[in-house]
Structure 1
Amino acid sequence: MIENSNTEFKREYTDSIRKAVVAFANTDGGCIYIGVEDDGTVVGVVDVDDVQKRVISLCRDGIQPDVMMFLSCDRTVIEDKDVIRLQVQRGTDCPYYLKGKGIRPEGVYVRRGPVSLPAAESQIRKMIREAGDFHYEQERSLEQELTFKATERFLQEAGVPFGEAERRTLRIVSKDGLYTNLGLLLSDQCQHTVKVAIFSGKKQVVFRDRREFSGSLLLQVNQVIEYLDFHNALHSEIRGMKRLDSRDYPVESLREAIFNAFVHRDYGFSGSILVSVYEDRIEILSLGGLAEGVTYNDMMLGVSIPRNPKLAEIFYRLHYIEAFGTGVRRILTDYAECEEKPQFLVSDNAVKVILPNLHAEWEHPVIAEDVVQDERQGYTAEIAADEGVYQLIAAGLDSRKKLQSELGFSLTKTVNILRKLLDEGRIQRVGNGKNTRYRCK
């Protein structure tokens, strides 16, 4: 007999037996022989009944979740000596851990050859995922020393109770009394962050300001919205006897885009939500693609399956969101009369929402097809197109949208002609954003 990945020897009863039991239950099972030296020499056990009782008590009271249904503790005879054989099967509720240590490497052990070793955090997460079909937010948190000062404040302000019963109802605490990942996300110890950068101009080159928000997700979302609201400039326009005020970005659209980034992101990734503010747009990048079974077309139709439904429920209780599936439609409605439309870019592992600045001057790149078409038609056709746009402006068609509709040109071709007429000094631009108009000089 030798020690290996499924066998361990103990000369006598010791509390370290718990580690071996946890390791076997988390790996492939095994046997612990009490009364056998490390080199395989059988020394036996004097009081078998007493040791058996102590072993059973140790495993029942010192290991969580309950591992007793996977244990058998029997007397056996080896070389005419009484030995206790503690047989451990692989459990179905991994990870098993030492009660006083919690679900962290110093409490979770796995078997590697003849040694019981602390499990790496990645191994612990894998065991949690494999234990059942759970959402990330419902899995047991690796961190159990949590506080909720910020969350309690926001819930109290909204009149939402946050006692022990409510924490279980909201799934912040699991049935076995442990904090879930949702609890971690709402705790002051939350490790996920949001990074916001303000850039000068339209490229990611020169920073004007940058911030990183941490702590409870409720604190983060409120701080991010407050920060972006500060940078969402207010514009005033006098029309007749009235003054019309408007922001660079529709307030509700910006809020919806931020809330969606929090509710739908995959917190299994360690990266941050990224918010980039440019002169002409805001880009919001959230990790995790669309939820399984949801396509891009589904999303645009208003289909919504939150990746984190319990977090979404808390946002709903706090009136951060009105109902599932309304965010994209609200954004599209807010931009319905605008020339520049929001963009929703989706990959397997990320979603980016781009909101145009309503008061920015947008420049569109020349499309190769338009260039080729003009070259085929010749220089005369190019002049004719320029003159056609100029004459229509002189006749009162003063917006890009009206000109494009009248001439049947593509967006890019219309913009390029307008830019050329501006550069030549033949027309002038009045206003900006959706209120941009063109006049002949």
Structure 2
Amino acid sequence: MPETNRIEYKRELSTDVDIEKEVIAFLNYHEGGAIYIGISEAGRIIGVEDADGDMLKIKDRVKNNLAPSAMGLFDVVTEEREGKNVIKIIVASGREKPYFKKKFGMTEKGCYIRVGTAAEPMPQPIIEKLFATRTRDSIGKIRSNRQDLTFEQLRIYYEEKSKPLNKQFKKNLELLTEEGTLNYAAYLLADENNVSIKVAKYKGVNRIDLIENNEYGYCSLIKATKSVLDKIELENRTATQITSKERIDRRLWNPVALREAVINSIVHNDFTREVPPKFEIFSDRIEITSAGSLPEGLSEEEFFEGVSIPRNRELMRVYRDLELVEQLGSGVPRILGSYGKECFRFMENFIRMTFPASKEVTPQVTPQVTPQVTPQVRRLLTVFKGEHNRQELQDMLGLSDRKNFRTNYLNPAIEAEFVKLVDPNSPKSRSQRYVLTELGERIRNIG
């Protein structure tokens, strides 16, 4: 594949390669782009010898040499091409243009823009025009109405990922305004706030008969997000179709697409309007509504092609740190892999995603018999309070023997379908977490 307006190749990372210039050009470009290290200009795969080392250098250079901050606007990942490691730098279009090299400031030596397949100096008139229209109402620039915020929940989530927060975390995570006060991003991520996300459930196909109205919030947005994901996962039950030849089980909604939709609606919600995203479950569909239209400069066509302009880069950075988001621009393509463009509706002030439920047929009738539950498994079910990793469950049970815990508690609960893996595709992952199934909830409530 040749270089394009959105793809740049570099044979290697060296002092002669001005990686800052290339990143700035894509930040200032309305579509963003990708830079590959280890591929020649002609498209020949060269590979890199020290991928991990080069990735650290790239992150350090972009973090320290660019302004405004590009954190939350770029990803650095590795890909295997023809058996060789290649580094890919994914850059989103920024909302605080113009971006520039700190060393040269907002001058033609510091600002660049993508023109065709090259990064060209940005003319001074364009620099001044972009600066005059720069977005100033982002959650990172709005001062929190509370300055007595605490972040214990956020500390716990970072420690779970072996990324403990240091004393400078508020500055490092950009939770401070330019004046040094806590900003609205900090308010959203704090232990206490006034933000609540609603998950409503209706009996029919309209909003007349409300049967559940759950609220998750007044806490760190990360905790609220995980609670919403747990609730939606419980609602995404398995529909069964019985034919003359086989029994077909399928979820009401594609779990991968649904998870991406939930995360996207929260991370890209326009919180400056003080309107949180809303989740509504009907008998035939689920609707997810987030505040804010498409970011300025992003067309629907570009949106569907995966072009990313993060509305809340501070949140995006934290969600990526905590592995709730994999990489920039991956959410919409994953949703489109299961649902068509018609599932999106763009309104003047909102974006709504509507996912129809898979066709439900008469399920196989099984007698309601309470399964036999061992004392160990029953003890395990009683300690669940959402998602937990193995060590948390052991600690809550007061068990030190990992083998005993897995053999007599966890594995039997999973086999009986009382407990399920949050990430079933990586059953042996060190970061694996577990949650009760609907059956597990019912058994626990029976007592």
What's the TM-score once normalised by structure 2's chain length? 0.48
